[in-house]
Structure 1
């Protein structure tokens, strides 16, 4: 079994609760140049990895140690080669990681509490060097491995070398495109939604009703169960009208009714620190009527007729008729954003799409359908689906899974090349390894047995 990708174990422990754990007596277990590796760092990474994967192999600590030492070698080489990473890239990586962790914890306060009460700004200051080192090492690694290519013959050889009696199974998958038409809300319905929210705001501002209580009663998204509360950052991918209105507010202040692409909002600022803010909001979504939906269905009927007759291509129809800007950016193809891939597993689709998949053949277009466009607000729209490809349940094979096999074979070759590159240059760096780790197979020969001391 080939070694996992270098830096694989540089997981996001820097912003996880593990950082709040009690530290044990520390010591230096490795050194490259003037960079040291502490036992506490390795133990922390091991404990977090073991928590995520209880079936950790017995030599996992050696793997983590190899990766930590390899990162420092890459950083040292980057310094020799004048490879740098811009400060704004490092800040962007750090901000993104922290925003993701805040989302997982549900709020900035819960995240800070899990990290020993340290504020986001204290955590960023503490781990900025960690992320800088990681970014530099990743860039140097990319430079080294960019020259590694793989041939069809090597891919074939890799596949044939796999144990044929234990090839992994794969579920049915499809590639699906869609042309979405969201009906325009009638002027009357839109005005009613705005007036409803104006009334709610009046009850809060003039009659002293609780914003959180009113959000729980009236708001039309998932935040209603939390009194409309959410944590945001100015750099988050949010509706810009919402962001602009929120950041104009002082703590305790309530915005006028504002319009976003999702509906009408009122926003209350709870607290703010720089680009981070905690707000409450109430959203009222103007409801699309069945008559509006039927008009869009008729429009899509004629679009489908043009598609079937060949009068217009799918890509042309997406550009001309789709009202969904996100799908326009992908040529109409539906992506699984967990994997950033257009390959979709049927069990992960929305109900309406999975039903259509059972009726379609590759190259066919569905009848126009009504579907839930936004599960949080329950808003509906119409669409035509297009099946670009389909793969039935199967075990791994070159015909159906060539791209997957190619990617794994290339990663194996790249990692072998990188491991060899490091071993060939180890003697050019000042390296010390604690005796407890000198028996790790991956670092054998890097130092003399007595080169490290406690």
Structure 2
């Protein structure tokens, strides 16, 4: 963190010895000092964010800052950097979220007692350092492997009160049908995009402003349509093919159709195998009658499934237009853990409402839902399994326990690395700040 002093925050806290001193060095780690103002500022930030501090903040926070400095020093050795555009995008999203929550920029400034540029600068540093530290940790733990026998031994050694409770989960199959969209609606969308492109190409309008005003990609519109640096594999193929072939940042691409809708794209910068672009997304509107036609067709399909004419999975393979599930018998996959099991809150809201009172084997009536491309589609779902809540066990929850063990191993590696780093690093903790039960060993031993 920066060593700047936030006086309004500083004078608002009970403090350790020396509270009448405006600022002072409280720790030294290597050749870097940790100031009392650093601790007070982080304490204020954590309170603002409602963070829970486990222990005395004047012990926990300086140790946390010291640990960050050790990781950041290692990042310099390993020449680890992060993309500024990615950090900037994350900060903009966070600030926009706060503005939406509090109601205005002025209320955000009043809440944090800082100007918006100062808040943004602080968040940039925090998020940049967090991303760098994450990369260092990934490098240190990249070789973690596990065997079934190790997982079993780990589980057997867990105290009973450490065995997690697994909430009720469900397994679901789905069939979706996209409603027909009139040709005129598609033509209207394309005409709007051509108009935007012409205005930018003539110099009559700014692409970023148009994206903020009109783009239906909510995640990027507030950043002027900017996506940040991305590799070809992270973009859908149709979009990537156009984005990577752009060469003039002053010109706008042709209209690109993808599963998300219709786009125009503007190049910002190419860097090696990555590209940063802006885009404007428009999605054709679906009429109520088109949605009714789609659900009527699905209701007919449901009757045949319930009547035994064919199985749900077979129908999904032939009829469903959900590309993520149609080749998997319609089985929905949880993106959090790549399993077929969902807690109810992890399902799309419309799906969760339908299956809440269904029994395994039931097939829902047709309904309208918004899919992960933010499009309205017709759908039917089958509840294939409902797993009651229970204490985790190896037979039902092996993947969960495996993840717990891998996390345990990674934490062991990081703890051992940190304690060795502490041992090899000059550390001084000032009187009055050293009487703590620190998380990591070696801080006080090396103090002068």
Q: Same fold (TM over 0.5)?
A: yes
**Is the alpha carbon distance of 1:167 and 1:127 closer, same or farther for their aligned partners in structure 2, counting shifts above 3 Å?**
closer
- Shift of residue 356 of structure 1? 3.5
* Cα drift, residue 44 of structure 1: 3.7
Residues 149, 339 of structure 1: alpha-carbon distance in 2 compared, 3 angstrom cutoff: closer
Cα gap change, 1:33 to 1:416, in 2 (>3 Å): same
Look up the match of 1:436. 432
Cα separation, 2, equivalents of 1:297 and 1:45: 57
What SS class does the counterpart of residue 148 from structure 1 fall into? coil
Aligned to 1:287: 288
- Listed one character per residue, the Cα deviations across residues 3-59 of structure 1 (whole Å, up to 9, x for unaligned) are xxxxxxxxxx99xxxx89634433322232333323333334345445666764334
Q: Is the 8 A contact 1:308 1:365 kept in 2?
A: no
Instruction: Tell which deviates more after alignment, 323-332 or 379-388.
Output: 323-332
- 1:85 maps to 2:83: no
2:342 aligned partner: 344
Match of 2:141 among 138, 145, 165: 145
Instruction: Output the CA distance in 2 between the equivalents of 1:29 and 1:437.
Output: 7
Contact 1:347–1:354 at 8 Å: present in 2 too?
Answer: no
Q: Indicate the residue corresponding to 1:208 in structure 2.
A: none
Paired with 1:346 and 1:119, the residues of 2 have a C-alpha distance of: 38
Whether contact under 8 Å (2:298, 2:378) holds in the other structure is yes
Which residue is equivalent to 2:36?
A: 39
Match of 2:9 among 22, 27, 31: 22
Residue 302 of structure 1 deviates from its aligned partner by: 6.8
Q: Secondary structure at the match of 1:37?
A: strand
Confirm or deny: 8 A CA contact 1:90 1:135 kept in the other structure.
no
Measured after TM superposition, the shift of residue 184 of structure 1 is: 0.8
Identify which of 55, 69, 72 aligns with 2:69.
Answer: 72
Match of 2:388 in 1: 392
Residues 66 and 54 of structure 1, relative CA distance in 2, 3 Å threshold? closer
Query: How far apart, CA to CA, are the structure 2 residues paired with 1:437 and 1:86?
Result: 32
Question: 1: distance between equivalents of 2:328 and 2:97?
Answer: 26
Contact conserved, 1:174 with 1:390, CA < 8 A, in 2?
yes
After superposition, give the CA deviation of every residue in 1:160-182 in whole Å (9 maximum; x if it has no partner): 33332574433211233422112
Superposition TM-score, scaled by structure 1 size: 0.62
1:327-355 residue CA offsets vs partner (Å, 9 max, x unmatched): 67999654667888754223664355444
Q: TM-score, normalised by structure 2?
A: 0.62
Measure how far apart 1:421 and its partner are: 2.0
Q: Which residue of 2 aligns with 1:371?
A: 368
- The 3-state SS of whatever aligns with 2:26 is strand
Structure 1 unaligned residues grouped into runs of 5+: 1-12, 198-220, 224-229, 242-247, 249-258, 265-274
| Structure 2 CA distance for partners of 1:295 and 1:134, relative to 1, 3 Å | closer
Q: Structure 1 residues 21 and 164 mapped into 2: Cα distance closer, same or farther (>3 Å)?
A: same
Mark the CA change 1:232 to 1:72 in structure 2 (over 3 Å): closer, same or farther: closer
Change (3 A) 1:165 1:74: closer
Q: What residue number does 2:226 align with?
A: 235
SS in structure 1 at match of 2:62: helix
| 1:102 equivalent among 88, 96, 103 | 96
| 1:211 equivalent in structure 2 | none
Distance 1:155 1:134 in 2: 30
Give the corresponding residue for 2:247: none
Find the aligned partners of 2:320 and 2:345 in 1 and give their Cα distance: 25
CA contact (8 A) 2:87 2:128 kept: no
C-alpha displacement at 1:186, in angstroms? 5.0
1:134 aligns with 2:135: no
- 8 Å Cα contact 2:302-2:363 kept in structure 1: no
Report the Cα distance in structure 1 between the residues aligned to 2:442 and 2:370, rounded to whole angstroms: 59
Post-superposition Cα deviations, 1:43-86, rounded to whole Å, max 9, x if no partner, equal 34345445666764334553443332222112223333xx2234
Name the residue aligned to 1:205: none
Structure 2: 5+ residue stretches without partners: 12-21, 193-215, 229-237, 240-249, 251-256, 263-275
Question: In the TM superposition, what is the alpha-carbon distance from 1:386 to its structure 2 partner?
Answer: 4.7
Question: What is the match of residue 7 of structure 1?
Answer: none
- Return closer, same or farther for 1:313/1:429 CA change in 2, 3 Å cut-off: farther
For 1:109 and 1:370, the matched residues in 2 are separated by: 40
Report the more deviating stretch, 296-305 or 104-113: 296-305
Paired residues of 1:365 and 1:386 also in contact (CA < 8 A): yes
The separation in 2 between residues aligned to 1:384 and 1:346, in whole angstroms, is 17
Per the alignment, do residues 386 and 424 of structure 1 end up closer, same or farther by CA in structure 2, a change over 3 Å counting? same
Instruction: Sort the Cα spacing of 1:334 and 1:124 in 2 relative to 1 into closer, same or farther, 3 A.
Output: farther
CA distance in structure 2 between the partners assigned to 1:55 and 1:124 by the alignment? 23
Deviation at 1:412, TM superposition (A): 2.1
Q: Distance in 2 between matches of 1:40 and 1:339?
A: 41
Match of 1:421 among 409, 417, 420: 417
Q: Distance in 1 between matches of 2:285 and 2:147?
A: 56
Deviations 1:138-157 (A, max 9, x none): 22222222233344344333
Separation (CA, whole Å) in 2 of partners of 1:297 and 1:446: 67
Contact 1:185 1:288 in 2 (8 A): no
